[in-house]
Amino acid sequence: MATTITGARRTASPAFFALGLLALAGCATLKAPTLQLEGMGVEKVRITGLGLEVRFHVRNPNPEPLRIERFEYELKLNGRRLGRGYYPDSFDLAGFGDQRIESNLDVNFLALPQGVQRILQRDEVRAEIKGKFYVQQGGSLKGLGFKSDAEVRIRR
């Protein structure tokens, strides 16, 4: 640490001040991407369940680009758990960028309460989604949680 002493007063050198600013910049926290559920569509109906196509809009709130390795989520409709899903493919988001992606979610009728089956027959539902993004940061994988809710239409 380079300091100069002037009488009884000590002042930091410009180099020390610059190092302090760099340290603060390095401590900047990475914000979790936001995920909005845009819609759902019934993809395949089977005897024991159905496949849902779930459409998302992902946005990077950071000025730096992000490499998202994957994400996982839990989906609730009108407060009732529908199931867990994931997006296994990695993708890049530019700083302040966004992207639309689709995920497939398998729903097993045998594991669902009958109330959820009735909810899936509606045209519009209140969807809650929460989960975790796994992003590359400093050579390691970091989990960033997210949560959102929206009114969405179910396409048949």
Structure-block tokens of residue 3: 């300091």
DSSP string, 24-79: HHHTPPPPPPEEEEEEEEEEEE-SSEEEEEEEEEEE--SSS-EEEEEEEEEEEETT
Q: Give per-residue pLDDT as tens, 38-77.
A: 988 888 888 878 888 999 999 999 999 999 999 999 999 8
Look at residue 92 and tell me whether its pLDDT is greater than 50: yes
Q: Return the higher-pLDDT residue of 117 and 8.
A: 117
Domains and CATH numbers, the chain: 31-155 (2.60.40.1820)
- Residues 69 and 88 sit within 8 Å (Cβ to Cβ): no
Q: pLDDT averaged over the chain?
A: 81
Q: What percent of the chain is predicted at pLDDT more than 90?
A: 43
Is this prediction's pTM over 0.75? no
**DSSP assignment letter at 128:** E
- What average pLDDT does range 107-136 have in this prediction? 81
- Residues 65 and 95 sit within 8 Å (Cβ to Cβ): yes
pLDDT category, 140, cuts 50, 70, 90? very high
Scored b (16 or more CB within 10 A) or e, 139-152 reads eeeeebebebeeeb
How far, CA to CA in Å, does 30 sit from each of 25, 41, 76, 130? 11, 33, 27, 18
- What average pLDDT does range 15-32 have in this prediction? 55
pLDDT category, 113, cuts 50, 70, 90? low
pLDDT category, 114, cuts 50, 70, 90? low
Rounded to whole angstroms, the Cα distance separating 119 from 145 reads 27
- What average pLDDT does range 130-154 have in this prediction? 92
- Residues 49 and 110 sit within 8 Å (Cβ to Cβ): yes
